């Protein structure tokens, strides 16, 4: 093959010296053949490779955090399941969110733990696409679920007398189903857009899991159009739910300020404090990663932010809702058989 290419180059150069030199012609043809025939079958997740001496320590830390996440979310789900006082739409949404967060971390952390103890940190192309699909599916679902919880708080505070009529079981199941179906449809579209890109090397992903930006950087083609489409989807998933939450809380604050008693205002704000904490952490981290110009994307610092929304946020949700929510704390004590505090008349 190489001899034929060189011969073609010499022939062209003989009859047209201004065309191209034989050596350059050979390199161009070989590069074109390489790009057409070479396909990446696996990626290397670089992740925390630069912290080689801390791999064991990182393994212990992430294992502890992962087990804590599973235990905390399982506790929240068990308390909601076995406490009849929490059988309301608000805690039903929290139950689904805790389940989704547990699945979300299961997609990422177990593989991270394996790679921290392994010399080879490879992942096949199909496994990478599968991880990306489920990661995005659960992440998008969580974004929509948190927005649904904001709407639930709006109805509970602004229309308390009609709450049970509006937020009935049918509407609750419909909102949860819509969140899940929409989230995974968006994940399917994004995964197909990235999967159809040609990858012909290099294959080192500058991350500890398969995320959009680090994988797209490895595509050996112009990705501007697809990146614009992915950015538009990111706006849909992050900004639309976030703006809907802000609108809901605008009405909520206006209603709370009209409550005459200070105790009533305090209770109303306390009801929303847990949800607002989760909102700002969740959407804040997602915006830092996915709503930025291309020139500022995929830096090493992104891995620290990624740890926040893949590890800290799933841990924060059950802790915030259990520590800042009096109803959950009371139900937890009842389930665990702990003595209840009684008010003295």
Q: Give me the chain's average pLDDT, please.
A: 81
For 277-292, how does the pLDDT look when each residue is reduced to its tens digit (9 = 90+)? 888 888 888 888 888 7
- Local confidence band at 312 (pLDDT 50, 70, 90 cut-offs): confident
The pLDDT value given to residue 220: 87
Residue 169 has pLDDT above 80, yes or no: yes
- pTM comes to 0.81
For 126-152, how does the pLDDT look when each residue is reduced to its tens digit (9 = 90+)? 999 999 999 999 999 999 999 999 999
What contacts 24+ positions apart, CB below 8 Å, involve 152-155?
Answer: 152/89, 152/90, 152/93, 153/90, 153/248, 153/249, 153/252, 153/271, 153/272, 153/275, 154/248, 154/249, 154/251, 154/252
Helices of type H across the chain? 2-15, 22-37, 55-82, 89-116, 125-158, 163-166, 169-195, 212-216, 224-256, 262-290, 302-307, 313-323, 326-336
Residue 247 has pLDDT above 90, yes or no: yes
């Amino acid at each position: 093959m190489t001899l034929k290419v060189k011969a073609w180059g010499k022939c062209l150069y003989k009859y047209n010296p201004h065309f191209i030199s034989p050596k350059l012609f050979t390199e161009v043809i070989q590069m074109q053949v390489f790009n057409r025939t070479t396909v990446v079958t696996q990626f290397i997740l670089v992740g925390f490779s630069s912290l080689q001496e801390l791999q064991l320590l990182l393994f212990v830390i992430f294992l502890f955090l992962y087990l804590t996440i599973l235990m905390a979310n399982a506790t929240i789900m068990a308390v909601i399941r076995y406490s009849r006082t929490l059988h309301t739409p608000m805690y039903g949404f929290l139950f689904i969110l805790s389940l989704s967060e547990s699945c979300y971390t299961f997609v990422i952390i177990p593989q991270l733990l394996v790679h921290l103890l392994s010399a080879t940190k490879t992942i096949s192309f199909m496994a990478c696409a599968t991880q990306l699909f489920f990661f995005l599916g659960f992440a998008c679902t969580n974004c929509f679920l948190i927005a649904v919880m904001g709407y639930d708080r709006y109805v509970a505070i602004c229309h308390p007398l009609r709450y049970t009529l509006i937020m009935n079981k049918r509407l609750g199941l419909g909102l949860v189903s819509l969140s899940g179906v929409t989230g995974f449809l968006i994940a399917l579209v994004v995964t197909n857009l990235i999967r159809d890109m040609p990858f012909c090397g290099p294959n080192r992903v500058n991350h500890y899991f398969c995320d959009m930006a680090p994988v797209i950087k490895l595509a050996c083609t112009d990705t501007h159009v697809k990146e614009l489409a992915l950015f538009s989807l990111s706006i849909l998933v992050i900004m639309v739910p976030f703006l809907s939450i802000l609108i809901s809380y605008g009405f909520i604050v206006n209603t709370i300020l009209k409550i005459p008693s200070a105790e009533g205002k305090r209770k109303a704000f306390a009801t929303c404090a847990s949800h607002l904490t989760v909102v700002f952490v969740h959407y804040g981290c997602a915006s830092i990663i996915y709503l930025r110009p291309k020139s500022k994307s995929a830096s090493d610092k992104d891995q620290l932010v990624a740890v926040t929304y893949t590890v800290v946020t799933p841990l924060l949700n059950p802790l915030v809702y259990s520590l800042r929510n009096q109803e959950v704390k009371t139900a937890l004590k009842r389930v665990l058989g702990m003595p209840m505090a009684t008010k003295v008349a």
